[in-house]
Amino acid sequence: MRPETVAETPPGEFNDVVVIIPALNEEQSLPLVLRDLPTVAAVIVVDNGSHDDTAQVAADGGAIVVQERDRGYGSACLCGMQKLADLTAGESVAPNIVVFMDADYSDHPDELSLVVDPIRQEATDFVIGSRLTGHRESGAMPPQSIYGNKLACFLMWLLFRGRHTDLGPFRAIRYEALKQLRMVDRNFGWTVEMQIKAAKQKLRTVEVPVSYRRRVGVSKISGTVSGTIKAGYKILYLIAKYGLLDRQVAESVDEPE
């Protein structure tokens, strides 16, 4: 692996954007993601314990590569955030916006402007790329993913008044707002935790339609029965947990002294 480097701020419209990409055994798809991604201030690829050449192809594609052996989507995202904090402290980068996207080439990296522009125009703090309102390739999302997303979004509206159609992984958020969320989930609940906390903190949040295609390879979540069950359970658990906490706080405030 070549030594870690941080590119100088490029002369483009995305020079205030850092992209974090969790990756697990994505040596075939990751080069396509990096190829289609517009030039940004930095790309951080978090190798989540791959057994293939994911780390090497990421480095060859110009990304900063970090290792996170604790398996889990949330663990990888948290590791990427810690690396970003280190880079920011060392003044290697000064991001305004952080983008998360998958490494399996299901997202369209060339649509980066769709999730970034609303923040750069100071119209919002948090943008979620919605696969359900955008152009979705046939078979890209199995039925259990579609209905699971709809159920989770309905429950978030019911409990937190968060208006969403999707828990899409392609998303952008102001860096300062991201830090204020104090993210903790280390596996399947990462996306829903972010959306719940954004609603609770009343961040300005919008959805934009994004394209979505069949991923390269087999999904670690929706592509397996166990992954689907675990993800569904964790998402519903977090929604219930944060909803119950809100109710307990409200009841404690209403109790007479």
Q: What is the pTM of this model?
A: 0.87
Beta strands in the chain (DSSP E): 17-23, 42-47, 64-67, 97-100, 126-130, 171-174, 205-209
Distance CA 253, CA 16 (A): 42
Hey, where are the domains in the chain? 17-248
pLDDT tens digits, residue range 68-103? 999 999 999 999 999 999 999 999 899 999 999 999
Report CA torsion sign: 148, 158, 128, 187: negative
pLDDT recorded at residue 8: 44
Task: Identify the three-state secondary structure at position 136.
Answer: strand
DSSP single-letter state for residue 206: E
pLDDT recorded at residue 11: 42
Q: Which residues contact 157 (CB under 8 A, 6 or more apart)?
A: 163, 164
Phi, psi dihedral angles at 100 (to 5 degrees)? -110, 140
Partners of residue 127 on adjacent β-strands: 172, 206
Phi, psi dihedral angles at 173 (to 5 degrees)? -150, 145
pLDDT tens digits, residue range 133-146? 999 999 999 998 89
Task: Identify the three-state secondary structure at position 178.
Answer: helix
Cβ(80)–Cβ(2) below 8 Å: no
Percentage of the chain exceeding pLDDT 90? 75
pLDDT recorded at residue 254: 42
pLDDT recorded at residue 217: 75
Mean pLDDT of the chain: 88
Give the CATH class of 17-248.
alpha beta
